[in-house]
Structure formats: structure tokens, C-alpha cells
Amino acid sequence: MKKLLIVNVGLPPKPQLDTFGKFEQWAKNVIEAHRHPIPANQAAIIEFHDGINQPLPHSDHLAGVIIMGSLAMASDKEDWMLRLSREIVDLVERSIPLLGICFGHQLIAQALGGKVGYHPNGLEIGTIAINKQPDAAQDPIFSDLPAQFDAQAVHYQSVLSLPENAVHLASSDFEPHHAYRVGECCWGVQFHPEFTPQVMKLSLAGLQHELPDDYERKQAAVKETHHARQVLVNFAGLVEQQNQSLGAA
């Protein structure tokens, strides 16, 4: 049975880790809460993987891959990041569905020729408004979302320039490259579809020292982000559909 692999590339801050567990568990929670019922023998098995210390399994065993967020910085290009970047290129060449979230979004863009670095205006954090770009109307995981929707975000680094062949899908007023697609089945999203409001509130609390004039307003503005969550659900659904099609073939 092929796997939907959720790749860990670092731990959350301790308050979030102690309360909610690891990043990959948050993503699994969203997928399992919203995935459509299908026969067990047709469902991709969700498994976690240590992307820092272990190479990815051979792509023949993968129905799809999600690379999570991290406190690491993609522009540091540590050895494990370079190895995972080579594996990203292989996944894209083999048309294995791939989704990167925050750090994962940045690492994929960098691996495929984009530029990653610190955002010139610093930290973006809180519940923010995401604006779809015109090409998102035909995108498999963005097309059913409204033109503007709320999402949770926390990041210092950004995709400063997209890979040459990327399709631009979404932005915020602060961050121009909140989502893109490369080819038919590789996506990056800077925002966090796996975050709950409770996670976002803890993230704000942990960075309160960087928000001396804005902390209370941002805490009060935190809300549910159902449409952002749908990006993760839609990706998992696409993986399931492709897995079933291959099984039928």
C-alpha cells in the first residue's frame, strides 16, 4: 500500500509541542477529520517521516508527500536541507503529489530554482487575509476556495522569487508569494492550513516581544480558518484520487 508521507523537518516551540504535539500530527488531524470515507484497501496510509535524519523512501512507495514547517531557515542550506532538496526534485520529476507548508514551501521553491530569504519587512504573524490570484481559479486544490479567505501565518523568511515555471496562486498584503504550483502536482503554501486558533494564539504569545504595539490587536483578531484548512484537505483528496486511479489501472 502506498503512503501519504508527512515529513517532519523540526519541532514546534515548546509550548505548542507540549500542548498539541508535533507539526505532522496537526496536519494528520486535519486530514483525518475531513477526508471522505473510502474503502480501507484503497486509502493511502498516512505515515510520519524524519526528514532531517532519514532520506525519503523510494518514490515507488509514495502516494504523496507533505513537508511541514520548521524553526530552521531554508536559506541556511544545511546538509539535510540539500539532501531533501534533491529528493524534492526527484518527486517533482516523477509527478508524486507534493505539498510544502511554510518552511516546506520555501525549501521546495529553493530546490526548484526560486530564491528564499528574510522578508524585507520582517515578521508576518496572525490571522491574515489571503487573496487568490487569477490562475488559482483553475487549480486543483485552490479552485473551490473564495477569492479572499483567512489563514494563520507566522514566518520570517519568504519565497522572494518563484521558480521560473511556477504558477502564482495566492498572496497577502504583506507577502506576495503565499502559494504557488509547479507542474501538475507540486504546491507550496506559506500560510499554515494545519494551525488551529489555539496554536496561533500560542505563537503570538511566544513572539509578543516582537509585537509591542500590535500584540493585543493580533490576539483579538485570531479566528477559525476553515478555507485555509481546505487546502490541506483538498491535497489529501487529490492524493487519494490518484492512488485509487493507479490501483484501478
pLDDT at 11: 97
Would residue 102 show up in a list of annotated catalytic residues for this protein? yes
| Domain range annotation of the chain | 3-248
pLDDT at 248: 42
Would residue 186 show up in a list of annotated catalytic residues for this protein? no
Residue 32's contacts (CB-CB under 8 Å, 6 or more residues apart) are 46
pLDDT at 244: 74
Q: What residues form DSSP beta bridges with 150?
A: 129
What pTM, to 2 d.p., does this model score?
0.96
Cell of 157: 523568511
Residues 14 and 56 sit within 8 Å (Cβ to Cβ): no
pLDDT-based confidence at 25, cuts 50/70/90?
very high
87, 102, 177, 185: which is the annotated catalytic residue?
A: 102
**What fold does the segment set 3-248 form as a domain?**
Rossmann fold (3.40.50)
Strand ranges in the chain using DSSP code E only, listed in sequence order: 3-8, 45-50, 62-67, 98-101, 115-118, 124-132, 148-155, 157-161, 166-171, 179-182, 186-189
CA atoms within 13 Å, Cβ hemisphere of 112: 29
49, 155, 178, 192: which is the annotated catalytic residue?
A: 192
pLDDT-based confidence at 38, cuts 50/70/90?
low
C-alpha 45: how far from its chain's center? 19
pLDDT at 40: 58
pLDDT at 200: 98
pLDDT exceeds cutoff 80 at 36: no
pLDDT at 44: 78
pLDDT-based confidence at 249, cuts 50/70/90?
very low
Q: How far lies 187's CA from each of 94, 98, 150, in Å?
A: 15, 6, 19
pLDDT exceeds cutoff 60 at 91: yes
pLDDT exceeds cutoff 70 at 42: no
CA atoms within 13 Å, Cβ hemisphere of 97: 22
Residues 157 and 106 sit within 8 Å (Cβ to Cβ): yes
Would residue 105 show up in a list of annotated catalytic residues for this protein? no
User: What is the share, in percent, of the chain residues with pLDDT greater than 90?
Assistant: 89
Quick one: average pLDDT of 70-96? 98
pLDDT-based confidence at 67, cuts 50/70/90?
very high
